[in-house]
Amino acid sequence: MRLRLVKDDTHIDFFKYARVWLGISMVMILVALASFFIQGLNYGIDFQGGTSIRTEAEAPVDVAAYRAAITPLELGDVTITEVFDPTFADDENVAMVRIQSQEGTESVTAGTLAEVEAALQAVDPTLTFTATESVGPKVSGELIQTAFIAVALAVLAILAYVWLRFEWQFAVGAVLALVHDVALTIGIFSEIQIQFDLAIVAALLTIVGYSINDTVVVFDRVRENLRKYKTKKLKEVLNVSINETLSRTLMTSGTTLMALIALYILGGDVIRGFVFAMIWGVVIGTYSSVFVATTVLLVLGVKRDWSKKDPSAGTRYAEIDA
Amino acid sequence: MLNISPFRMVLIWLTVAVGLLLAMPNAFYGKVESYNDSVVATGSGEGWPGFLPSGLVNLGLDLRGGAHLLAEVQVEDVYQTMIDVRWPEVRDALAAERDTVGFVTREDSPEGVLRVRISEAAGADRALQIVRGLAQPVQGLSGAGSSDIEVAANGPVLTITLSDAEKAGIDERTMGQALEIVRNRIDEAGTREPSIQRQGDRRILIQVPGVGSAQEVKDLIGTTAQLTFQPVVGRTSDPSEDQGSGNELLPDSIQEGQYYILEREAVVTGEQLVDAQPAFDQNSRPAVSFRFNVTGARAFGDYTLGNVGSLFAIVLDDEVVSAPEIISHIPGGSGIITGQFTIEETTGLAIQLRAGALPAGLTFLEERTIGPELGQDSIDAGKVASMVAGVAVLLYMMAAYGLFGVFANITLIVNVGLIFGLLSLIGATLTLPGIAGIVLTIGMAVDANVIVFERIREELKTAKGPARAIELGYEKALSSIIDANITTFITATILYTMGSGPVRGFAITLALGIITSVFTALFVTRSLISIWFSRRRPKTIEV
């Protein structure tokens, strides 16, 4: 007996509720954009500048006492949050102290840092500082620019590749699906205010990579079926293709999600945000490959007679032998 | 084509074996690390067989703990010094023509600009000519052919600025010098594998594993090396020789057993040196040219005038770098050091001379300290997570594809091994996001196999017999696999180029993961299936 996520022979009509799906996607993107422009992202120090100190103490974290100790130093905006994690031992009480970037200096001066550490240690002598990071406004500005360029470049490169390997309609479909995924990921980070730092940008790019991977597998089958069923309606060809690849789509998403969930629960708090972005991206990416990319293809229409116009068809190098 | 030729088979399994062999040292991390350390320290190591590979995956700062600093070098500081030292030269040159240009005074000027006023406005043309005559061709490769200063006249006021080519040259030298100093200082502290890299035009990225805080590194860089020029009293090979009062005995930096007795009081110190560059003497032998600031030039000039023929030692951090002979009086505050040098040596010596003190201020743009405990926690958490993820995927694959799932699982394990092997081979750095990359790869690596297996299932339905189905499955899945992985590889490449530090670590594991997973799915799984199939010759198969 084999474990099957989907039945062997499915005939689901994925376009029956195409308008509903598109509507949902549109609304979600609008919500994401609104949230991004109204509330904004909760930028980490990578992108905003400032200093973050990770503290670890034997006694429970007392945020109020920490704050009371730091306030007299007049460092401007100070955020203190307690960090919870199932991997922590009982005497491992972790907090993050974040200080805004100080005027006139690039990174926090040694003196200031020593003062903050001394003030906190007065509250709890068992306190240790397991990580201290300080980023100046100059670098953080550049980092955010680089991040933006990186994501844009990735999307453009994929647009070009898919265009070369398929047809422009496929490229547009794939890229719209990617934009959809990126927008929704940024949206959820803005909506629930998870810290957005460099690692999240890496996650974003990975989502782009994963989502396109999924989309390309579906597209590849569409291309094959377009050659096979020359008279079938495009909608039916798309449906057949999605159904045929559905088992693989869900199987791969399943194994990837399993690995990611293990990492989310057991991987520690340092990369939890990163892993969260990835899990969200895999779910959204799978959805968009099945619903968004193919619907775009259906709307744009595609060239049908691949076999006749393509003189190299059937003799392509890739098909001769693995 | 289900059968794979024996030659191919050998090649595939040889690749796998080499990959796993390269990965193996990582399983004995502590042992191999101490072995490698002892090899570096003594030339031979113990505790690990020498014939086995000993390359390890480097652990990033976020896993090992340590400090990461990004410093910007304030090269403008140097422009100011370099223009200041031109003043005596300009003054002396113009003073020689006092009849036409009159008195010369220096005016207040913005930073990096030298402004000179002459009292006879009518002599401005002549003055311009004289000062332009002082310009020298820019040394170095980039600005060859252009002169080092630009002179403009506005009535009786001459404005002298450094040319862009000279500035570019200064930038290069300053950066080289700053890198050298930072590297020397940190190497002296003897920490394991510090990484000091130039980043962009003016930045230095410093990563030092194992230090307690970024501040320690800053303190280390802040201390200046002592460069002095001292008169030589005598040479000896006996370190216990009586050096006499007011003198000191210092070793030669290159020749062992060679000592110099020097006057303790330095004539000039490194703080007064503004520049040193590799050059050639009159006979085209490699030499080092140098230049002092105003006070240094005076002291140096006075001393060389009275001591022609005697030895003059250049001492860096209490070691005699070189003890050239004073051939003639050197009045202008600049001169050359000749000796039995090769071009490489003069380049090195010039850097060392300049490396006396940091040439320009450093501004720290980014500082990060990760405690070793946090790093260890991350490693532990990463290990547990990878194992759980691995086991979950293995069970799932077996449940979904039965025997073929087992093949895929063997491949998956080989795949992770190959990633570590490649990481060790290229000496890449494993970071926390890198571990996440591996876990992600565990999830995604099965994808290529899944695509093939699903295809085989489909082909089986059309009942062409199992061998043909497997063959067709691979054939038809190929273009999907290639396209899907190339696109992911594109994003990994972009991540690598644009990212830094931990993100780069992630990009590397992701990219390697793509390569190994395609290789293993197309070749390793296939050869497993091929071996199994040719032994059993099953009439029907279930995938």
CB contact B361 to A (< 8 Å): no
Interface touch B502/A138, C-beta < 8 Å: no
User: From CA A105, how far away is CA A134, in angstroms rounded?
Assistant: 11
Residue B309 has a CB neighbour count (10 Å cut-off) of 8
Q: How far apart are the first and last CA of chain B?
A: 19
The reply to whether residue A132 touches residue B499, judged by beta carbons under 8 angstroms, is no
The DSSP element (H or E) to which B157 belongs, if any, is: strand B157-162
Three-state DSSP at A117 gives helix
Q: Is the pLDDT of residue B84 over 80?
A: no
Whether B524 has its CB under 8 Å from any CB of chain A: the answer is no
Quick check: A312 pLDDT over 60? Answer: no
Contacts of B396 in chain A (CB under 8 A): 3, 254-255, 258
Query: Would you say the C-alpha torsion B331, B333, B339, B341 has a positive or negative sign?
Result: negative
pLDDT band for A320, please (50, 70, 90 cuts).
Answer: very low
Higher pLDDT among residues B227 and A286, named by residue: A286
- Mean pLDDT score across all residues of chain B: 83
Would you call B382 and A268 a contact, using CB atoms and an 8 Å cutoff?
Answer: yes
Check pLDDT > 60 for residue A319.
Answer: no
Which residue is listed with tokens 């898919």? A162
- Give the H or E element holding residue A63: helix A63-70
pLDDT digits (tens, 9 = 90+) for A206-226: 888 888 888 999 999 999 999
pLDDT at B140: 57
Identity of the residue in B385, B402, B494 whose CB atom sits nearest the CB atom of A150? B494
Residues of B in contact with A265 (CB under 8 A): 385
Structure tokens at A110: 């040694």
Structure tokens at B402: 């039965």
- The alpha-carbon gap from A239 to the nearest alpha carbon of chain B, in Å, equals 16
Assign 3-class secondary structure to B477-509: HHHHHHHHHHHHHHHHHHHHHHCCHHHHHHHHH
Distance from C-alpha of A135 to C-alpha of B126, rounded to nearest angstrom = 53
B1 contacts A322? CB cut-off 8 A: yes
Residue-level pLDDT at A322: 42
Task: Please answer yes or no on whether A259 and B392 come within 8 Å at the CB atom.
Answer: yes
Relative to beta strand A42-43, strand A195-196 is parallel
| B433 at interface of A, judged by CB pairs closer than 8 A | yes
B136-to-A143, B133, B281 alpha-carbon distances in Å = 41, 8, 16
- CA torsion B4-B6-B7-B11 (nearest 10°) is 80
DSSP letters for B373-398:
HHHHHHHHHHHHHHHHHHHHHHHHHH
Q: Of A208-217, B421-430, B494-503, give the lowest mean pLDDT range.
A: B494-503
Q: What residue type is A228 in one-letter code?
A: K
A251 touches B at CB < 8 Å? yes
What's the DSSP call for residue B524? I
Interchain pair A266, B385: CB under 8 A: yes
Looking at chain A from residue 202 to 221, which residues have their Cβ under 8 Å from any Cβ of chain B?
A: 202, 205-206, 208-210, 212-214, 216-217, 219-221
Q: What is the DSSP letter of B225?
A: P
Average pLDDT estimate for B372-400: 88
- Element (DSSP H or E) covering residue A183: helix A168-191
Q: What is the mean pLDDT of chain A?
A: 85
pLDDT digits (tens, 9 = 90+) for B127-184: 888 888 888 777 655 556 678 888 888 888 888 888 888 888 888 888 888 888 888 7
Q: Looking at the predicted structure, is the pLDDT value of residue B1 above 60?
A: no
Q: What is the DSSP letter of B237?
A: S
A250 contact B CB<8A:
no
User: A2 and B442: CB-CB below 8 Å?
Assistant: no
How far apart CA B416 and CA B247 sit, in angstroms, is 64
The secondary structure element, H or E, covering residue B312 is strand B312-316
Interface of B with A in 450-469 (CB under 8 A): 450-451, 454, 457-458
Alpha helices in B193-342 (DSSP H): 214-222, 294-306
Give me the mean pLDDT over the B513-540 stretch. 88
Q: By mean pLDDT, which of A181-190, B269-278, B515-524 is the weakest?
A: B269-278
Look at residue A60 in the predicted model and tell me its pLDDT. Answer: 87
Residue type for position B441: T
Which element (helix H / strand E) includes A55? strand A50-57
Q: Is the pLDDT of residue B223 over 80?
A: no
- Mean per-residue pLDDT for A272-286? 92
Q: Which residues of B touch A160 (CB under 8 A)?
A: none
DSSP 8-class letter at B178: H
Q: Shortest CA distance to B177 belongs to which of B375, B417, B438, B351? A: B351
Say what the alpha-carbon torsion angle B327, B331, B334, B336 is, to the nearest 10 degrees: -10
Give the model's pLDDT for residue B93.
Answer: 84
**Which of A206, A252, A257 lies closest to B510 in CB terms?**
A206
The answer, for A145 touching chain B at a CB cutoff of 8 Å, is: no
pLDDT(A171) > 90: yes
Judge: B485–A213 Cβ closer than 8 Å, yes or no.
Answer: yes
* Interface contact A271, partner B, CB < 8 A: yes
For residues B471-507, one letter each, b for 16 or more C-beta atoms within 10 angstroms of the residue's C-beta and e for the rest, the string is bbbbbbbbbbbbbbbbbbbbbbbbbbebbbbbbbbbb
Amino acid occupying residue A119: A
Q: DSSP secondary structure string, B180-229?
A: HHHHHHHHHTT-SS-EEEEETTTEEEEEEET-S-HHHHHHHHHSPP-EEE
Q: Give the B window 172-231 contacts with A, CB below 8 Å.
A: 213-215, 218
Nearest-angstrom CA–CA distance, B305 and B387: 76
Mind listing the pLDDT tens digit for each residue in A120-145?
888 888 888 888 888 888 888 888 88
> pLDDT digit string (tens) for B113-127?
888 888 888 888 888
φ/ψ of B417, rounded to 5, equals -60, -45
* Whole-structure pTM value: 0.76
The CA distance from B444 to B442, in Å, is 6
Identify the pLDDT of residue B326. 86
Residue B393 pLDDT exceeds 70? yes
Angle between helices B372-425 and B526-536 (to 10 degrees): 60
Amino acid at B423: L
Q: State how far residue A130 is from chain B, nearest Cα, in angstroms.
A: 5
B541 touches chain A (CB under 8 A): no
> Is A174 a residue whose pLDDT tops 90?
yes
What pairing do the DSSP bridges indicate for beta strands B429-430 and B58-59?
parallel
Q: From start to end of A84-151, where are the E strands?
A: 93-99, 128-135
Backbone angles phi, psi at A135, to 5 degrees: -125, 130
CA A158 – CA B488 distance, rounded (Å): 9
Pairwise pLDDT comparison (B185 vs A242), residue with the higher score: A242
Amino acid at B509: T
Q: Which of A53, A87, A217, A222 has the highest number of chain B CBs within 10 A, making it the mutation to test binding with B?
A: A217
User: Could you give the C-alpha distances from B107 to A195, A322, B114, B117, in angstroms and in order?
Assistant: 54, 78, 8, 7
Q: Which two tokens stand for residue A208?
A: 């782009």
Distance CA(A281)–CA(A212), nearest Å, equals: 11
Query: Is pLDDT above 90 for A100?
Result: no
Residues from chain A that touch B507, judged by Cβ atoms under 8 A, are: 202
HSE-CB of B189 using CA atoms within 13 angstroms:
22
Least confident of A103-107, A280-284, B512-516: A103-107
DSSP of B32-46: HHHHHHHHHHHS---
Question: Are B441 and B419 spatial neighbours (Cβ–Cβ below 8 Å)?
Answer: yes
Q: Average pLDDT for residues B229-245, to the nearest whole number?
A: 81
| pLDDT for the residue numbered B464 | 75
Q: What whole-number percentage of chain A has pLDDT above 70? A: 92
Contact state of B502 with A254 under an 8 Å Cβ cutoff? no
CB pairs under 8 A between A and B: 246
Q: Does B447 touch chain A (CB under 8 A)?
A: yes
A158 part of contact set with chain B, CB < 8 Å? yes
Q: Which residues of B touch A278 (CB under 8 A)?
A: 436, 440
- Which residues from chain B sit within 8 angstroms of residue A274, using beta carbons? 433, 436
Alpha carbon distance B183, B363 (integer Å) = 17
Q: Is B352 helix (H, G, I), strand (E, B) or coil?
A: helix
A25 pLDDT band, cuts 50/70/90, is very high
Give the B window 300-329 contacts with A, CB below 8 Å.
Answer: none
Whether the CB of A126 is below 8 Å from some CB of chain B: the reply is no
Is B484 near chain A, with CB under 8 Å?
yes
The pLDDT of residue B417 is: 92
Rounded average pLDDT over B349-360: 68
Q: Helices A137-165 and B466-498 meet at what angle, rounded to 10?
A: 150
Mean pLDDT for B252-274 is: 80
CA distance B137 to chain A (A): 36
Backbone angles phi, psi at A7, to 5 degrees: -65, 160
Averaged pLDDT, B322-343: 80
Is the CB of residue B178 less than 8 Å from the CB of residue B360? yes
* Interacting residues of A218 by C-beta distance below 8 A, sequence separation 6+: A241, A242, A245, A249, A289, A290, A293, A294
Separation of alpha carbons B453 and B521, rounded Å: 10
Q: Select the residue of A132, A162, A271 nearest B369 (Cβ to Cβ).
A: A132
Contact yes or no for A139/B199 (Cβ under 8 A) = no
Q: What is the CA radius of gyration of chain B?
A: 33
In this model, does residue B403 exceed pLDDT 80? yes
Burial class from Cβ neighbours inside 10 Å (0-12, 13-18, 19+) for residue B363 reads middle
Distances (CA, A) of B507 to B22, B431, B495: 21, 10, 6
B/e letters for A259-276, b = 16+ CB within 10 Å, e = fewer, are bbbbbbbbbbbbbbbbbb
Contacts of B432 (CB under 8 A, 6+ apart): A270, A271, B60, B62, B63, B378, B382, B502, B505
Please report residues of A whose CB lies closer than 8 A to that of B520.
none
Nearest to A220 among B432, B480, B488 (CB): B480
Query: What are the tokens at B140?
Result: 């170095």
